[in-house]
Amino acid sequence: MFIQIKNVSKEYPDTNNNAVQVLKSIDLDIEAGEFICLLGPSGCGKTTLLNLIAGFEKVTSGEITINGKLAVEASSKHITIFQNYGLLPWRSVQKNVELGLETKDRSKSERKRIAGDFIELVGLKQYARHYPSQLSGGMQQRVAIARALAVDPEIIFMDEPFGALDAMTRINMQDEISNIWQKKKKTIIFVTHDIEEAVFLADRILVMSPNPGRIKSVIKVPIARKRDRTHPDFLKIRNKIFEEFEMKEKEKIEYYL
């Protein structure tokens, strides 16, 4: 198994230095090439779990292994994409995408070629010489994705990467990342609190609950891509997740208003 999470718990000290448990007894196996969504309300430990797998934080108990090695520190083989894009404003799209390649043994011409391929993959070939300030939010996020893919990572961690985008741009970016995943089959661990987003993107959805954070259920999404948000199979899984959160019909309606 590519990623194994065994009985992982995480505690933080409160203001009185008392231990507060934010994750409890997490057990999970993830296969290489899976698209996993961590779904749940604020405070359920989604981002904490992502940070533990990425090696940004250490577990309090239990263990996480990736390819058989303990995940105790961040790795250059793993890339994280956040909401704020993380682009360098003084570098063009081309140079932003080349950034990660500069730490590898690549010639200047090879860096340019690889970056150009991924810029074209995310549909920004004509904007290669533009700077971040000249791009929309969705376009900047595409650059961040191209930069992540250019270094050929084993795992891409995405922490609510579309959360700051407007509704239509967010839908377009969901299409984009789904298309890219189908082409590259990278292992993606994606944090979201948006139910439809999770159903649209994931192979499996980990529904999390808070106090302390734990995996309440694992829901497979056996729907072929590209997924139709109005298809009965899509709606069936979406409604199943609503039931997991014990939402009433009125709350369902308000969710989409």
CA distance 29 to 189: 12
Residues 65 and 37 in one domain: yes
Write the burial class of residue 129 (CB in 10 Å: 0-12 exposed, 13-18 middle, 19+ buried).
exposed
Q: Does 239 map to a domain? A: no
Under the banding of pLDDT at 50, 70 and 90, the label for residue 257 is very low
pLDDT in tens, 107-139: 889 999 999 999 998 889 999 999 999 999 889
Q: Does 18 map to a domain? A: yes
Residues 162 and 148 in one domain: no
In which domain, by residue range, is 39 found?
1-77+156-217
- Say yes or no to pLDDT of 14 above 50: yes
Q: Does 232 map to a domain? A: no
Residues 7 and 117 in one domain: no
CATH number at residue 211: 3.40.50.300
> Could you write out the DSSP letters of every residue in 61-103?
EEEEEETTEE--S--TTEEEE-TT----TTS-HHHHHHGGGGG
225-242 in b/e form (b: 16+ CB < 10 A) is: eebeeeeeebeebbeebb
Cβ(221)–Cβ(203) below 8 Å: yes
Residues 24 and 146 in one domain: no
Residue that is last in its domain, among 152, 173, 191: 152
pLDDT in tens, 217-247: 999 999 999 899 999 999 999 999 988 887 5
Under the banding of pLDDT at 50, 70 and 90, the label for residue 249 is very low
Residues 1 and 65 in one domain: yes
pLDDT in tens, 44-102: 999 999 999 999 999 999 999 999 999 988 888 899 988 777 899 999 999 999 998 88
User: Is the alpha carbon torsion for 26, 27, 33, 34 positive or negative?
Assistant: negative
Cβ-proximal residues to 85 (8 Å cutoff; 6+ apart), any chain: 132, 137, 140, 141, 143, 144
Residue that is last in its domain, among 120, 152, 184: 152
Residues 92 and 146 in one domain: yes
pLDDT value for 162 = 87
**How many H-runs (helices) and E-runs (strands) does the chain carry?**
8, 10
Of the candidates 164, 176, 228, the residue with the CA atom closest to the CA atom of residue 199: 228
* Domain tally, the chain: 2
Q: Does 251 map to a domain? A: no
Residues 108 and 144 in one domain: yes
Residues 71 and 178 in one domain: yes
Is the pTM value of this prediction over 0.95? no
Cβ(144)–Cβ(84) below 8 Å: no
Residues 28 and 134 in one domain: no
Q: Does 42 map to a domain? A: yes
pLDDT in tens, 148-164: 999 999 999 999 988 87
